[in-house]
A and B are shown apart, each in its own frame.
Chain A
Amino acid sequence: MTRPIYIAGAGMVRFGKFPASVTFEKLACGAAAAAMRDAGAQRCDIEAISVGHVFGGPVAGQRVAVELGLGGLPVSNHENYCASGATALREAFLAIAAGLHDIVLVIGAEKMTDRVKGGIAPDPSDLDAQHGFVMTAGHALSARRYMADHGATREQIAMVAVKNHAHSRHNPYAHYQEPISLEQVLAARVIADPLGVLDCSPISDGAAAAVVCSAEGLKRLGIWGARPIVRGIGLVSGTLRNGLFDLNEEDISRRAGEQVYSMTGVDPADIDFVEMHDCFTIAEIVRMEGLGLIPRGEGANWTEAGHTSLGGKLPVNPSGGLLSRGHPVGATGMAQVCELYWQLTGQAGGRQVPDATVALSYCKGGTVSGTDGASVTTVIMSR
């Protein structure tokens, strides 16, 4: 990359279920204000705003900009379903790399609880959706096949939820902050078997934001200390799969991983922890394998062995992940970036990964019939 790109400050509002009076704009403004405060940025410092969201409606980013007193600036809206937040970050990254801006505000926000019921699905025109495909069903098909192909157990898959809920006890921004037991996950109401409701990330409201800067931007903000560097952002889309493909091949994850490893020069072996898009328990397992960070077919064993827990050899989702931090879809990518920022600056409290130096966050958004997914982002940051 031509010049380093930094996170000068980050902020979130707690994820959860809020009344209708807590609007999309309020959530987004709350996160933006927290990030700007953390960065020491005044309104006059911000040069552009990128906003990721899915259900915010037309020009939601501009509605937020006006409420922030930042009307007039370049504002862009980004929809890549659950990868929208990280896609908005990529816009800021590109603009700063191109020398267009030095200080950009990035916001991921979603108000879901008053407009989404019973889960999310692809666009109604999608051929799979016409047969009744919903996100949970896709992951249930994946889980059943993973169990058949790799001998993984239902219990091992459920342990992802137990682990991530245990992690978010220490995350004040998490939707859920209480531990859950394996028995609770196994006994939970079935949504699409073998997955129950605790295998699914909740429908949440929330927002997360960061102030993204060049070195020049940091100087203008009066920041002389170190800040985490965004080393690179991968963005790929799904490809059509032909014949009798391996359902859990995760070629899209492999490509997103290789793109960001090659862009940044980071050796995957040097990654200290991962914020992984665990929209469903099984998804954490197969996507970690797709990235090449866990050997194929070993993800469930790694979970059971504690390798992906805090204190394990590769902690996954110290924040609690989507399962427990919550999943306001357009906000998730930026919530992951907030977690990377806090971890890499040693501010993660009880969930701190010791000496975290290099970290990766991964989002996957949407599906397109016949492909292995719609949109995957990979962000690598280092301190």
Chain B
Amino acid sequence: MHHDNLLAPDKLEALQPLRDGLLQLHPPRLLGVLCGKCRTRTFPSRAFCPSCNSTEDLCSVALSPYGVVFSYTIVRQAPGTRPTPYVLAYIDLEDEVRVMAQVEAGREEVHIGMPVELALAAMHSEDGIARLGYKFVKTQRQKEKV
């Protein structure tokens, strides 16, 4: 199974991010938006709330790093230069936001409902320059809910 590199934290943090405003580093969290009107959390942030269309009262919010695999596939052939295979999944975060990302897990290990947590990662790019992004790994957290 190929995985985008999990580099040492200092090496990772030196990379350019995939895009601005996507994540914070300390601690690693995806940055979404919380709508003050309808209380919906969304990711990535936009200038409006996709749920109620409000453009006011939107504030940046660090999303929970914990979630479960909603659906997954092991991609064995892809166009471009990205090495295969890799596990691609939809992750349902605890705060009811669904994100797409790779999961670092073996094919016997990954399953619908698998608990995972966010990890910073160096992302493959067609221009050959790795960028700072994220993926999910098997959770280290204890079973009990916080």
The answer to whether A141 and B79 touch across the interface, beta carbons within 8 angstroms, is no
The 8 A CB mask of A137-154 against B (1 = contact, 0 = none) is 100111011001000000
The CA-CA distance from A116 to B79 in the complex, in Å, is 8
The answer to whether B78 and A144 touch across the interface, beta carbons within 8 angstroms, is no
Q: What is the distance, in angstroms, from A150's C-beta to the closest C-beta of chain B? A: 13
Say which size band chain A's interface belongs to. Answer: 35 or more
The answer to whether B78 and A118 touch across the interface, beta carbons within 8 angstroms, is yes
Residue A369 lies at the interface, judged by CB distance under 8 Å to chain B: yes
The 8 A CB mask of B130-143 against A (1 = contact, 0 = none) is 01010100000000
Q: What is the distance, in angstroms, from A259's C-beta to the closest C-beta of chain B? A: 21
Which residue on B lies nearest to A240, using beta carbons?
A: B50
Q: What is the distance, in angstroms, from B70's C-beta to the closest C-beta of chain A? A: 7
Contact of B78 (CB < 8 Å), options: A119, A130, A194, A239:
A119
Inside 8 A of B102's CB, which chain A residues have their CB? 131-132
Interface size on B, residues (CB 8 A): 40
The 8 A CB mask of A119-140 against B (1 = contact, 0 = none) is 1110010011011111011001
Inside 8 A of A239's CB, which chain B residues have their CB? 50
The CA-CA distance from A120 to B78 in the complex, in Å, is 8
Given contacts A243-B40, A244-B96, contact A132 B133 (CB under 8 A): no
The 8 A CB mask of B58-73 against A (1 = contact, 0 = none) is 0000000000001111
The CA-CA distance from A275 to B51 in the complex, in Å, is 33
Inside 8 A of A67's CB, which chain B residues have their CB? none
The answer to whether A137 and B88 touch across the interface, beta carbons within 8 angstroms, is yes
Contact of A140 (CB < 8 Å), options: B19, B51, B73:
B73
Residue A59 lies at the interface, judged by CB distance under 8 Å to chain B: no
Given contacts A242-B50, A242-B51, contact A128 B100 (CB under 8 A): yes
Interface of A toward B, CB cutoff 8 Å: 116-121, 124, 127-128, 130-134, 136-137, 140-142, 144-145, 148, 189-195, 239-245, 247, 369-370
10 closest A-B pairs by beta carbon, nearest first, are A140-B73, A240-B50, A118-B79, A145-B71, A141-B71, A192-B73, A242-B51, A192-B75, A134-B78, A191-B77
